[in-house]
Amino acid sequence: MHERREGLPELPNSEGRELVFRFAPNPNGPLTLGHSRGVIINSEYARQHGGRIVLRFDDTGIKTKPPLAEAYGWIDDEFRWLTGRAPDVRLLASERMDLYLDKARDCLAQRICYVCTCTADEFKVTRVAREACPCRSRSSEQSLAEWEKMLDGTYAEGEAVVRVLTDMEESNPALRDWPALRIQTGEHPLVGTRYRVWPLLDFQSAIDDEEQGVTHIIRGKDLMDSTRKQTQLYDKLGWTYPETLYWGRVKVHEFGGFSTSQMRADIESGEFSDWDDIRLPTIRALRRRGFTAESLRLFWVELGLTQKDISVPLATLEAHNSGLVDASTPRLSLLRDPVRLALDVSAVEMPSELVLPNHPTEDLGVRTWPLDTDSGLEVLIEKGDLEFALSGDGVLRLKEFADIEVTSDGGGRMLHFEKGDGVRIVHWLAAGVERDAVLLHDCEGELQHPCMLESNDHAEGTLVQLERVGFARIEQVGDRGRPWRLVWTHG
RNA sequence: GCUGGUGUGGUGUAGUUCGGUCCAUCAUGACGGACUCUCGAUCCGUCGACCCGGGUUCAAAUCCCGGCAUCAGCACCA
């Protein structure tokens, strides 16, 4: 039997040199679970090899996937949260426009590129037919003259484009004279209307990767043709393209895909409340729900770098998270559909308070419930547990306290403190420690379930385990008249 | 249509480079049990896979040929 490989696969061509990785998102929204794969895999390799990582905002498209001004800062935060550190280099493509335009002029002068004034539809015909379009024979001087007309506004959007001169006989149609720069007249959120001619991803990214000395590109396999295009350009410029690794397409059962544009549209239409709506697969939402960065790291490293298209259940991520947080999450009692019971306590000697551990095995301190027994004891349990008891012999175990017998009229009596055999253990609250709360759950939309939560002094943001319910994060501490707000994490 | 990628239990994953150490790893899941004053945790057990068909070979998950399935690219998106 072979030795089982641990962690990520070996990186090709990584010996004896300084490695540079990069993560290059379009800031058209905050990062999604899908993006986190790029952040985590690249930074993980950088960490293992003592390499550097570049965070580059590829924000040169202002029409179909326009950048969002706020998203830059969000992504900075999310990158830091996911990796525990800032990137070694942070760049904005939109601040580097002059470089791309200079490079484009060089390429035109060397006839690596030419200006094409065919319409997109016209060019498509020649591309499919493997024929040269009329512009293809332009000399470098002619292309440079046309280039000036692109820059000065003579050509309107869609009337001219810079193409890389490849080979119309390329067997892969995607590689035949692909477009490198085009005219966009809209406003960029950062640089406004300063530029008319903008590079497309394949041109911009190719130049940047060389400039930044990127040695390894690790990204989704949907960009395989992008690699081939960029390699064509690198060959013409006498550069060596970085090593490139790919992963396949991922779907998470609970979310489907991770389209930032789609989410943006759904938020604008009101279907979701915001980018941190707990039903959304954004990093912000996952953080809000109490997932840890480490659980995401384990999740992606375990999935590795296969080019298979996969569909994984969120349960895999949840299992990692449970394992990580269980030992440090205090226990609390939370009742959904609470019902009150007035218990006769005459059969037992009642203590004046109850001391409960915050964790069954770890030393996380205790909490104390005062018990008011002047006229019996009032307790709250879940309606479902009451119904369960009434369908049987009526006996329940109040966890860590006493066995009781309930009746259908909302009453009951204390039996004894010892636990009887086979009695169902239920979580409960003593009257006086219950606080109004809502639990935000992702299953039925961002619904707010009214609940009763045990009084506590945990801070906002604390991850707790609700006994017999599951993990949740305290999003807002309750206050006079304002209920506690909890966000469901997982079971 | 053209081009490229990928097919291992329910879901992922290791193994494929260089055929034998693989009646195929690990995790998750489901089911059952032990323990526990949570339906959590821990422990134990069970279930379950090499896309199909040929070929080469003493020997194929691994190499070759042919299918099939599936995903992606063929944008003046990133």
Does the nearest atom of strand B lie within 7 Å of A424's Cβ?
no
Fold of A434-490: Ribosomal Protein L25; Chain P (2.40.240)
Q: Which of A65, A91, A78, A71 is nearest to A29 (CA)?
A: A71
Can you give the distance from the CA of residue A467 to the C1' of nucleotide B46 in angstroms? 29
Using the CA of A424, give the nucleotide whose C1' is nearest: B37
Q: Which of A62, A33, A95 is nearest to A296 (CA)?
A: A33
Residue nearest to nucleotide B39 (CA to C1'): A468
Residue nearest to nucleotide B11 (CA to C1'): A312
- What average pLDDT does range A192-198 have in this prediction? 96
How large is the ipTM? 0.92
**Largest Cα–Cα distance of chain A, in whole Å?**
103
Can you give the distance from the CA of residue A283 to the C1' of nucleotide B18 in angstroms? 43
- What average pLDDT does range A257-261 have in this prediction? 85
pLDDT at A435: 95
Q: Across the beta sheet with A197-199, what order do the strands follow?
A: A113-116, A161-164, A179-183, A197-199
Q: What tokens were used for A424?
A: 């169902």
Can you give the distance from the CA of residue A96 to the C1' of nucleotide B5 in angstroms? 33
A470 vs A301, A330, A377, A445, A473, CA distance in Å? 26, 12, 27, 18, 10
Can you give the distance from the CA of residue A429 to the C1' of nucleotide B42 in angstroms? 27
Q: Look-up: residue for tokens 């999604």?
A: A32
pLDDT(A437) > 90: yes
Does the nearest atom of strand B lie within 7 Å of A419's Cβ?
yes
pLDDT(A256) > 80: no
Give percent of chain A above pLDDT 70: 98
pLDDT at A449: 73
Least confidently predicted of A257-261, A435-439, A441-445:
A441-445
pLDDT at A2: 41
Please write the tens of the pLDDT for every residue from A340-389.
999 999 999 999 999 999 999 999 999 999 998 888 999 999 999 999 99
Q: Look-up: residue for tokens 């005459």?
A: A346
Residue nearest to nucleotide B15 (CA to C1'): A2
CB-based contacts of A152, cutoff 8 Å, min separation 6: none
Can you give the distance from the CA of residue A316 to the C1' of nucleotide B37 in angstroms? 29
Task: Give residue numbers, 426 to 465 of A, with CB < 7 Å from strand B.
Answer: 426-427, 465
pLDDT(A152) > 70: yes
Residue nearest to nucleotide B28 (CA to C1'): A316
pLDDT at A448: 64
Using the CA of A306, give the nucleotide whose C1' is nearest: B6
Can you give the distance from the CA of residue A10 to the C1' of nucleotide B25 in angstroms? 18
pLDDT band at A1 (very low <50, low <70, confident <90, very high): very low
pLDDT at A80: 98
pLDDT at A332: 96
Does the nearest atom of strand B lie within 7 Å of A311's Cβ?
yes
Q: Look-up: residue for tokens 């035109």?
A: A108
pLDDT at A389: 93
Residue nearest to nucleotide B7 (CA to C1'): A308
Does the nearest atom of strand B lie within 7 Å of A203's Cβ?
no
- What average pLDDT does range A220-244 have in this prediction? 94
- A479 forms beta bridges with A482
Residue nearest to nucleotide B37 (CA to C1'): A400
Using the CA of A327, give the nucleotide whose C1' is nearest: B41
pLDDT at A5: 64
All CATH 2.40.240.10 domain ranges in chain A, comma separated: 335-430
A467 vs A60, A367, A483, CA distance in Å? 50, 14, 19
Q: What tokens were used for A365?
A: 């301190």
- Structural domain A97-199, CATH architecture: Alpha-Beta Complex (3.90)
pLDDT(A297) > 70: yes
- Structural domain A20-95+203-320, CATH architecture: 3-Layer(aba) Sandwich (3.40)
Q: What is the pLDDT of chain A when averaged over all its residues?
A: 93
Can you give the distance from the CA of residue A179 to the C1' of nucleotide B76 in angstroms? 7
Can you give the distance from the CA of residue A479 to the C1' of nucleotide B24 in angstroms? 58
Does the nearest atom of strand B lie within 7 Å of A387's Cβ?
no
pLDDT at A450: 81
**Covered bases, chain B (protein CB within 7 Å):** 1-8, 10-16, 21-22, 24-29, 36-42, 61, 70-78
Does the nearest atom of strand B lie within 7 Å of A118's Cβ?
yes
Q: What is the 3-state secondary structure (H, E, C) of A105-161?
A: HHHHHCCCEEEECCCHHHHHHHHHHCCCCHHHHCCHHHHHHHHHHHHHCCCCCCCCE
Residue nearest to nucleotide B71 (CA to C1'): A309
All CATH 2.40.240.100 domain ranges in chain A, comma separated: 434-490
pLDDT(A16) > 90: no
Q: Are strands A484-490 and A470-476 parallel, antiparallel or unpaired?
A: antiparallel
Does the nearest atom of strand B lie within 7 Å of A231's Cβ?
no
Q: Which of A176, A177, A182 is nearest to A163 (CA)?
A: A177
Give percent of chain A above pLDDT 90: 85
Can you give the distance from the CA of residue A62 to the C1' of nucleotide B78 in angstroms? 10
pLDDT band at A284 (very low <50, low <70, confident <90, very high): very high
pLDDT at A7: 76
CB-based contacts of A318, cutoff 8 Å, min separation 6: A489, A490, A491
Task: Give residue numbers, 280 to 299 of A, with CB < 7 Å from strand B.
Answer: none
Residue A303 and residue A320 in contact, taking contact as beta carbons nearer than 8 Å: no
pLDDT(A479) > 90: no
pLDDT(A444) > 60: no
Does the nearest atom of strand B lie within 7 Å of A37's Cβ?
no
Can you give the distance from the CA of residue A360 to the C1' of nucleotide B35 in angstroms? 14
All CATH 3.40.50.620 domain ranges in chain A, comma separated: 20-95+203-320
Q: Are strands A434-441 and A484-490 parallel, antiparallel or unpaired?
A: parallel
Q: What is the 3-state secondary structure (H, E, C) of chain A?
A: CCCCCCCCCCCCCCCCCCCEEEECCCCCCCCEHHHHHHHHHHHHHHHHHCCEEEEEECCCCCCCCCCCCCHHHHHHHHHHHHHCCCCCEEEEHHHCHHHHHHHHHHHHHCCCEEEECCCHHHHHHHHHHCCCCHHHHCCHHHHHHHHHHHHHCCCCCCCCEEEECCCCCCCCHHHCCCEEEEECCCCECCCECCCCEEECHHHHHHHHHHHCCCCEEEEEHHHHHHHHHHHHHHHHHCCCCCEEEEECCEEECCCECCCHHHHHHHHHCCCCCCCCCCCCCEHHHHHHCCCCHHHHHHHHHHHCCCCCCEEECHHHHHHHHHHHHHHHCCEECEEECEEEEEEECCCCCCCCEEEEECCCCCCCCEEEEECCCECEEEEEEEHHHHHHHHCCCCEEEECCCEEEEECCCCEEEEEECCCCCCCCEECCEECCCEEEEEEEECECECEEEEEEEECCCCCCCCEEEECCCEEEEEEECCECCECEEEEEEEC
Q: So what CATH class is A335-430?
A: mainly beta
